[in-house]
Structure 1
Amino acid sequence: MRTRLLAAALSATALALPAVASPVVGVDALKEWNLIVLGDLTSSSEVEGRTFVGGNLDGNSSNYQIKTPPPSSYDTPGLIVVGDVTGGAKNLNNGSGAVVGGNVSSGFNLNGAAQTVQVGGSIANTNVNQNTVNSGLAANAGFLEGLQQQKSLLASGMTDLSQGMTKLEANSTVTFANNRGTFNAKPDAKGVAVFNLTADDLNRIGEIQFNLNGADTAIVNVSGANIVLNDNFLGGTQGLGEHVIWNFADAKNLSLTTAWGGSVLAPGAAANTGNYIQGSAVFGSLVQNGEFHLGTYTGGYTPTTPTDPGGPKPVPEPGTWALMLAGLAMAALLLRRRRGAAA
């Protein structure tokens, strides 16, 4: 019975949410998006993969989906913005497509294959040509609700994922020699290696060597409110974002001054980037002056229950319950609207 109710609720939600028909939750979000900003993004740079912005997108001319990301099972467009798009023109590439909850005053340059753009408010400074551009969609039932639902799921899911990782027991170590930090992963039976550091530990490092040693996922928990990423990777950054998650659960401010290897999870941080990150990235807000490169997370890590004997001991991930509750809420909203229309 519970399964049928959940299926019905999710089906009703999908009908109500033309903008985000299949919400992305949990660890899947790190695989789906190259960049997730839960609040506002001010950008003068580019993102190679998909981008989600929970607030407004501003700044000078910037570029989105300049490469082809891995195939999506969620049918996610290259750019989602819950708020408004302002500032310089935004370039959408390689059939990116976009969904915007508010107005687009900056305009889009729609490059490459034909694209579909859905806008809740008005759109200006955009040449449609062979593309499909629909505006004024906020009047449609469920359009804005769908965007807000995805934002809410990401905000809660990324925060809970980050906090859950901090509860993992460290099984791997980093050694320091002068200004060089060497990370030696010792993965458990599920291929998960866990490091625990402080912000002061990270600040001691000028050069990094990262040895995965066969780990599927290496989680580096870094405690501290103010984080500066200014270290050089002696072993290179290629592929680290697919397997390494730098988790800054306590971070309020994060500054990137050099190229950084690995996915970054900092859902509460106001971030500022001046060079590229190769991997998935999640921030509270972002001033972007450095690129985000593909190499997004591909590992098999999933939060497990404390009784799971084969892995570490985090808290359960909330995505499934959050999605079910959101679906039931949307189903109830649809029912009320239909009853009102019938009256």
Structure 2
Amino acid sequence: MFSSKKHLIVVASMLMSGFVQATPLSDFNLILTGDYNYQGGEVEGRTLLGGNLNAAGHSPTFATRETTVPNKDTVTIVGDVNAGNINLNAGSLSYGGSYNLAWNVNLNGGGSSVQSVTAGNQVDMQAAFDDVETELRNDSAYFASLSSNAVLNGSQLLYSGADSVAVFDLDFSQVFAQNNSLSLDAGTAETVVINVSGSDVTVGGGVNLTNGFGLQAGGINIGAANILWNFYEADSIDFNNLATVGSVLALDADITGGAVFDGSVAAKSYTGAREFHSFGFDWTPPQVPAVVSEGSTTILFAFGLVFLALSRRKTRI
């Protein structure tokens, strides 16, 4: 049975026409429409926050595995920066709100890295962020509208078809509420989309992702970069002790817990002390957002324009 939200998602996806574009989940490691309530850990790739960085008394670490290119923000915070130290290993940081740092920003890139901390125009930054959020919402709608062609057989996610994309459509109680180890047999599929319904999601403490969920593609493993968990109804997700393999798309969810996230995460907020590893979702969905949006290339260009404008009045830390 489909919920009303599912119906709205399907209707939205019908408004999309066929076109190839990259998803922001391949560009950013962590995207939050709200706050990052940092209690520890690090983000290996790029970070984009629509809200605040709340890390008072802590020293958050960013871009530890990001390849730096000139004029590239690896951390963009539309709201306020609240922290002790910030460790930035590559690229630059821009922010739109207030800047409340107890100590320093450690720019650890070295070499030819172009690194700075820059105060930006919050209105412009918010507009650019809104484009990213719109694209992600339309991506989620597209993924949720895909017809299921794979099944959960006991504790195994199983696909035996000939399509390049394996699509699962599951309620969270089917896949997460049981304290079972989950395995994945993606067959010949190159991409796995796992649509998960349910508003308040709690992962059982004994859930583990095992065979078929290896981080790198090869053998029985499809690879973390080729797996997407689409929580299209979630308002909250407690990942408990789960080591998540694959990217997480849950724009309306406040997320807590998790042992580690091996993939990109896009959510409302995150509270916790975990690491986000840069296995960005590597599939290009063949669709265009129903709301006018120029796609990832234009979005990145917009952020680039903001960066160039800001660079004229840099505040070096």
1:217-265 deviation per Cα after TM superposition (whole angstroms, max 9, x unaligned): 2111110011123421221441333111000010000112221111111
Any conservation in 2 of the 1:103–1:119 contact (CA below 8 Å)? no
Distance in 1 (CA, whole Å) between partners of 2:147 and 2:71 is 36
Distance in 1 (CA, whole Å) between partners of 2:136 and 2:30 is 13
Residue in 2 that maps onto 1:232 = 208
Alpha-carbon deviation of 1:207? 0.5
Distance in 2 (CA, whole Å) between partners of 1:75 and 1:170 is 42
Distance in 2 (CA, whole Å) between partners of 1:212 and 1:193 is 7
Residue in 2 that maps onto 1:77 = 73
Alpha-carbon deviation of 1:164? 2.4
Residue in 2 that maps onto 1:175 = 153
Q: Does 1:28 align with 2:5?
A: no
Distance in 2 (CA, whole Å) between partners of 1:186 and 1:299 is 20
Q: Does 1:112 align with 2:88?
A: no
State how many pairs are aligned. Answer: 261
Any conservation in 1 of the 2:23–2:285 contact (CA below 8 Å)? no
Residue in 2 that maps onto 1:317 = 289
Match of 1:149 among 124, 127, 131: 127
Aligned partner letter, 1:102: G
Map 1:1-343 onto structure 2 (within 5 A): 27-43=22-38, 44-59=40-55, 60-69=58-67, 76-93=72-89, 95-106=90-101, 107-113=104-110, 114-120=113-119, 138=120, 143-176=121-154, 181-186=155-160, 189=163, 191-202=164-175, 203-204=177-178, 206-230=180-204, 231-235=207-211, 236-239=213-216, 240-258=223-241, 259-303=243-287, 316-318=288-290, 321-323=292-294
Alpha-carbon deviation of 1:118? 4.4
Stretches of structure 1 lacking an aligned partner (at least 5 in a row): 1-24, 121-137, 304-315, 331-343
TM-score normalized by the length of structure 1: 0.69
Q: Which has the larger radius of gyration?
A: 1
Distance in 1 (CA, whole Å) between partners of 2:190 and 2:284 is 7
Distance in 2 (CA, whole Å) between partners of 1:228 and 1:286 is 15
Choose between structure 1 and 2 for higher RCO, CA contacts under 8 A separated by at least 6 residues: 2
Q: Percent identity?
A: 25
Stretches of structure 2 lacking an aligned partner (at least 5 in a row): 1-19, 217-222, 303-317
- Over 3 Å counting, the alpha-carbon distance change for 1:83 and 1:175 in structure 2 is same
Partner-residue secondary structure (3-state), 1:116? coil
1:181-210 deviation per Cα after TM superposition (whole angstroms, max 9, x unaligned): 211234554x11110000110212521111
Alpha-carbon deviation of 1:29? 0.5
| Aligned alpha-carbon RMSD (Å) | 2.6
Distance in 1 (CA, whole Å) between partners of 2:144 and 2:246 is 17
TM-score normalized by the length of structure 2: 0.75
Alpha-carbon deviation of 1:117? 2.4
Distance in 1 (CA, whole Å) between partners of 2:71 and 2:257 is 28
- Over 3 Å counting, the alpha-carbon distance change for 1:283 and 1:187 in structure 2 is farther
Any conservation in 1 of the 2:244–2:258 contact (CA below 8 Å)? no
Partner-residue secondary structure (3-state), 1:219? strand
Alpha-carbon deviation of 1:267? 0.5
Any conservation in 1 of the 2:147–2:167 contact (CA below 8 Å)? yes
